[in-house]
Amino acid sequence: MLARAAGDDLAGDARDGASVDFAALARRAQAARELQVSDRVPLRQAGGYGVIVAAPAPAAPGGVVLGLLGLHALSTATISLLEPRGVDLLIEDASAPTDRSVLGFYASRLGSDAVISDSQWREWRSAARDRITTQVDVADRRWTLTCSPTVHYRSAEGFRQAPWIMLAGGLGLTLLTALLVHSLAAQVRERLRVEQALRASEQRLRVVFNQSPDILMAVNEQGRIVMVNRPWPKAPDESAVGHNSAKILPKGLRKWYRRALKAVFTSGEAEEFQYSATDWVCWQVRIVPLRNAGRVEAAMVIATDVTEHRMLEAQAIRSARLATLGVLSASVAHEINNPNNAIQFNAAVLKRCFDDILPLLRRRAAEGGGVLIGGVPIEQAIDGLPDRLAALLRNSQRIQGIVASLKQMARHDPGEYAGAVDVAKVLRSAYSLVQHQVQRYTDDCEVVLPPALPLLRGNSQQLEQVFINLLLNALQALPERSASVRIEVSVAEDRNQVEVAVVDQGCGIEESDLACIFDPFFTTRVEQGGTGLGLSICRRIVENHGGSIDIESVAGVGTEVLVRLPVADSQTARDLGRAPPAS
């Protein structure tokens, strides 16, 4: 700053060496750790010559303070003590080259014979018959002071005091320099304090700006980026400033963004819109005008990926529908239970009655006579009625099991994972709930369970939802009824995990789809009403249980979904074994 202020007063005559190397002068002051003085420099406003003074800054290690010292005022003040006695004064820099040694010249107001021209200084000096010359060390330079009387010289009193006057001038110069350095040091300290506070504030703002999950950028009317918190997509190491802002957004979003940006600069009002891509990715974009003196000069763009938010909304809607379905199922189950209980009771009564009359029927059949019971010969009735009554009772009990499963599914799930889970029981319940779908899609569906399975720690309702989803996916993928679905359960070799494999001979999954099969809203069954949330929810539930879910598939051959769930440790298993299973 001081170098720039000093430069404003320099005459800039390159022939006189006015071009001062400020950096070199500053380095000299840093190396010497004391004042350094430059060669002479012509002054534009004050006239005459001056020098640049460099001093190490005490408040800023490694810093240097620069000042401009004009010599014309100094020589005028000094010689004024000799007025009006007719004395000329020449100040020279003995350390400078001969052609740039003259620093200043004072011509007596009583009249001087000297010609003020660089080419005449030597002639003046040689022509002066009576003169006094002395040398003074000024920082790292040596100056020569020469006084000479003119033809109008009146007294030698002041002339004899010239060395003392110059000494006083030197002391004054030193004091002036010290005051200058002190003042400049105070300014430098204050400037450094302000700059450090600004840098700290800017750094905090930059951290918040750069770490925002949203795309934040300021753009001009042409859509060029002025400031952004993302790198340029095509060159991550390159700044995006100056590029087309639309290119940093997803491709499908760009057309809508350009329209909204144009509307903001035209109307001066904020714009907001949402965009959903074909892959279910959803963006929310807000564009706010930035005004200066009432005119919209730029716009702030905030682009937010709200896919997860939309997924949670869709999941909440689906959960609400399932809750409604659960309430309806519980109501239907209650209505079914009443007649089914009557059927079970009457079936049991009929069986006991048939057992009582069976001997009578056999005697009557032995007597002959072609008796019919319900339009069936008595011999066939004796053999067939027990089976029919047993089938009636068995199917009634099956209805009772389905109703119990519906009630359990409709029961409120507190979302806890600390209950005892019997995997075999959960699988049987899930299988019974999809029994109608099994009969609809295949003739070959089998659940293979080992004799004994360790208990898990978790939430049986949520795991039942997982296996229902996986079973339905497998069934719906079958191309024909002869294709099979197998559910195989095993314990890992280290006995730390239970593995449930759902294997189908369905159409399989394309390799390009496997990478995004667990993504929310991804589905290949849009026409059949698929939402793309089933597998995403399954993975979240399994991971909440500390397990994993993996899929292997070959298009046209089939798919295997492997669910691994951790076994409860021995102490937890004992505790869970004493506690009632999680509902």
Question: Which tens digits make up the pLDDT trace of 305-363?
Answer: 887 777 777 777 766 766 666 667 667 776 777 787 888 888 888 888 888 888 887 88
Q: Residue 220 above 70 pLDDT? A: yes
Q: What is the mean pLDDT of the chain?
A: 76
**List of residues 6+ apart from 130 with CB closer than 8 A:** 148, 149
Q: Where are the alpha helices (DSSP H) in 506-554?
A: 511-514, 534-544
**List of residues 6+ apart from 430 with CB closer than 8 A:** 464, 467, 468, 471
Query: Is-contact 426 542, C-beta < 8 A?
Result: no
**What's the pLDDT score for residue 149?**
75
Report the pLDDT averaged over residues 58-65: 73
Give percent above pLDDT 90 in the chain: 4
Total length of the chain: 583
Strand order of the β-sheet with 225-228 is 225-228, 215-219, 295-305, 282-292, 271-276
Comparing CA positions, the residue from 133, 141, 147 lying closest to residue 173 is 141
Comparing CA positions, the residue from 44, 50, 97, 39 lying closest to residue 73 is 50
Asked if the bond preceding 149 is cis, omega within 30° of 0, the reply is no
Backbone angles phi, psi at 475, to 5 degrees: -65, -45
**What's the pLDDT score for residue 488?**
92
How would residue 154 be classed by pLDDT, with cut points 50, 70 and 90? low
Q: Residue 511 above 50 pLDDT? A: yes
Report the pLDDT averaged over residues 519-541: 65
What six digits make up the tokens of 268?
A: 């001066």
**What's the pLDDT score for residue 502?**
92
Give percent above pLDDT 70 in the chain: 74
Q: Residue 12 above 70 pLDDT? A: no
CA 104 – CA 75 distance, rounded (Å): 7
Report the phi/psi class of residue 573: left, alpha or beta, with left for phi > 0 and alpha for psi in -120 to 50: alpha
CA 34 – CA 36 distance, rounded (Å): 7
In this prediction the pTM is 0.39
How would residue 405 be classed by pLDDT, with cut points 50, 70 and 90? low
CA 328 – CA 42 distance, rounded (Å): 99
**What's the pLDDT score for residue 500?**
92
